Amino acid sequence: MPTNANAEAAWTYHEATKHSYTSVRTNPHFLDFANQPLPFKVYPALEPSRMPTEVCQTGVAALSAIAASIPVQTNIAPDLQAVAQLLYLSAGITRQRKYSGGEIYFRAAACTGALYEVELYLVCGDLANLPAGVYHFAPAEFGLRRLRAGDYRSVLVEATGGEPAIAHAPLTIVCTCTYWRNAWKYQARTYRHFGWDNGTLLANLQAVAAALGLPAKVVCGFVDATVNRLLDVDSQREVAFSLVALGHDSGLSARSGPPSQSAPQVLADLSPLGVETVPLSRDEIDYPLMREMHAASSLHSAEEVAVWQGNAAPGDTETLPAEIGCTGTTNLPPPAGPIIQLTPLSDAEMPRDPIEQVILRRGSSRQFARTPISLTQLSTMLDRATRGIPADFLNPFGSQLNHLYLIVHAVEGLESGAYVFHRDRKVLECLKRGNFRDEAGYLGLEQQLPADAAVDIFFMADLRPIFDRFGNRGYRAVQLEAGILGGKLYLAAYAQRLGATGLTFYDDDVTRFFSPHAEGKSAIFLIAVGKSAKLRQ
């Protein structure tokens, strides 16, 4: 059985799935539209129960919601209306567009190729208007299909080694990722997309939760097989990727969660559901590299989960890598080049467009006008998006695995050039000056969008300390964090009536462009921001 601690598998996967000028030109892959996967998971034998469709107006400004997190011990449970709001604004269908081959159902959060490989499941106790159970979210019907009746939260408590946020949660949302739905287009690189696309969805989910006053902690440390068994997914095709604990009930036991049955008993009684699902395509192409990456980053026992959480017993740590117990983060060297102080808007000054409105307005820019944005707009985006994510792998709160490097083309008050963002000092350090529109277009896989944007924000991470701290599973964490930060940047841009789009990139060329500063770091994510040539109102 591969062990998470030996990070060879993550390095192998990372290297094998890099894009380069040559790899893109020598890849014979084409899109087989006759074999395109279904956009939804369908259980034909289960009738969904519909949820309320009215979006409640919280009035909370998007720029507040993305920056805020509700203290973990705030006693509150979502009701069905809140559940519907969380699901709609993170994974619901918000727009439809017909094209010659059919119809695209666009969803609330950005997703590579609009292929939406992330499925959501609910595991809850009795909530107002929603009885305890395990449910699958059906976006097409905007409904819930009940897969199991009764309270199964203790299974998640067991799987996460008693993670307090899960143990006290009235509701946990489990996000799974389906290989083929995204690999149809992106082949083996899809495993990176799991983190990105799950992340943008979580950015919305956490912002909506904050607006509803709900604590929402992302948990990535869990025994994979236990969670997959609870949902009864075919783990060759679909795997649990992240959990989100929502709300808090201080009356629940910190160790065992809900008092239904003992977790081992519930686990022993977990039978396969035997519920049919509709095949996604005529046939599916398997990319074993991804399944190997997933297996090598899986946790198999409470002991492995404890190591993930940084809670390994002292005796156990002797066998662990030397850096265990550190955060996996690296500090940037103090600025050595010219610095520019950021000028973010305060709460009193910022645009107050509510989170619900901004999510519904968001869409990826398809063309940027080459007109400048202001330094204040850029500052506000960077400031608001990086104020910390409640997650079990970002400990203490506020830690960050990714560093932000920028290519600035058109920002008033900022010379064009390459910069690195020092989050702790709220400054940009200039690495080199110049007009790099052509270079940026090339780095973003030779697309026009990064060349025309006002600024391209690259996420770079030093994977070595991350793998030392978290093993192969650190790869899931660093991609997921990037997706969440990227999702927040999307919302911060649209809250200020700017446009944005996620992009893919030529991995090693990005590192070379930002070197020597970025030497040793890997390119993880890219988002371009600017004034959309056509902005959704």
Ligand X SMILES: Cc1cc2nc3c(=O)[nH]c(=O)nc-3n(C[C@H](O)[C@H](O)[C@H](O)COP(=O)(O)O)c2cc1C
The residues of the shown chain that bind ligand X, judged by CB under 6 A, are 106, 110-114, 196, 200, 363-364, 445, 447, 449, 501-504
Is the distance from CB of 363 to CB of 192 less than 8 angstroms? no
DSSP string over 49-78: EE---PPP----BHHHHTT----TT--B--
Mention every residue, 6+ apart, whose C-beta is less than 8 A from residue 234: none
Q: Provide, rounded to whole angstroms, the least separation between the CB of residue 523 and ligand X.
A: 12
Question: By C-beta, is 494 or 513 nearer to ligand X?
Answer: 494
CA pair distance 403, 237, nearest whole angstrom: 32
Q: Which is nearer to ligand X, 223 or 478 (CB)?
A: 478
Q: For residues 261 and 447, which CB has a smaller minimum distance to ligand X in the complex? A: 447
Helices of type H across 417-519:
437-443, 448-452, 463-470, 473-495, 507-514
Smallest separation, CB 363 to ligand X (Å): 3
CB nearer ligand X, residue 66 or residue 431: 66
Residues 6+ apart with CB under 8 A from 508: 18, 20, 523
Closest CA to 328 of 243, 403, 273: 403
Both structure tokens of 437: 């529109």
- The C-alpha atoms of residue 253 and residue 47 are separated, in whole angstroms, by 34
Q: Of the two residues 379 and 532, which places its CB atom closer to ligand X in the complex?
A: 532
Contact residues for 247 (Cβ-Cβ < 8 A; gap 6+): 76, 77, 78, 169, 170, 171, 214, 215
Q: Tell me the closest approach of the beta carbon of residue 356 to ligand X, in angstroms.
A: 16
* Closer residue to ligand X, CB minimum distance, 38 or 114: 114
Q: Show the tokens assigned to 295.
A: 């297996």
**Closest residue to ligand X: CB criterion:** 502
Q: How far is the CB of 252 from ligand X (least distance, A)?
A: 35
CB of 266 to ligand X, least distance (A): 36
CB of 483 to ligand X, least distance (A): 7
Nearer to ligand X by C-beta: 36 or 447? 447
112 or 228: CB nearest ligand X: 112
The smaller minimum CB distance to ligand X, of residues 193 and 409, is found at 193
Q: How far is the CB of 208 from ligand X (least distance, A)?
A: 16
Closest approach of ligand X to the CB of residue 177, in Å: 13
Based on CB atoms, which residue is closest to ligand X, 172 or 364?
A: 364
Q: Give the closest residue to 327 by CA, choosing from 468, 421, 479.
A: 468
Q: Which is nearer to ligand X, 43 or 105 (CB)?
A: 105
The residues pairing with 499 across neighbouring beta strands, listed in sequence order, are 530
Beta bridge partners of 240: 176
Q: How far is CA 24 from the centre of its chain?
A: 25
| Nearest approach, Cβ of residue 420 and ligand X (Å) | 21
Q: How far is the CB of 199 from ligand X (least distance, A)?
A: 8
Shortest Å distance, C-beta 495 to ligand X = 16
Angle at 271 between CA 268 and CA 275, to 5 degrees: 165
DSSP string, 298-317: -B-SHHHHHHHHT---HHHH
* Residues 281/457, Cβ–Cβ less than 8 Å: no
To ligand X, the closest distance from the beta carbon of 488 in angstroms equals: 12
For CA atoms 286, 287, 291, 292, the dihedral sign is positive
Which pair of structure tokens corresponds to residue 356?
Answer: 């619900």
Considering the complex, state which of residue 197 and residue 392 has its C-beta at the smaller distance from ligand X.
Answer: 197
Which of these, 104, 77, 19, lies nearest to 364 by C-alpha position?
104
Residue for token pair 């910069």? 419
Residue among 298 and 504 whose Cβ is closer to ligand X: 504
State CA 474 to chain mean position distance.
14
* Residue length of the chain: 537
Least distance (Å) between residue 444 CB and ligand X: 7
Inter-residue contact 105 to 115 (CB < 8 Å): no
Closest CA to 418 of 512, 290, 321: 512
User: What is the DSSP-derived secondary structure letter of residue 113?
Assistant: G
Q: Is residue 457 a contact partner of residue 411, using CB atoms and an 8 Å limit?
A: no
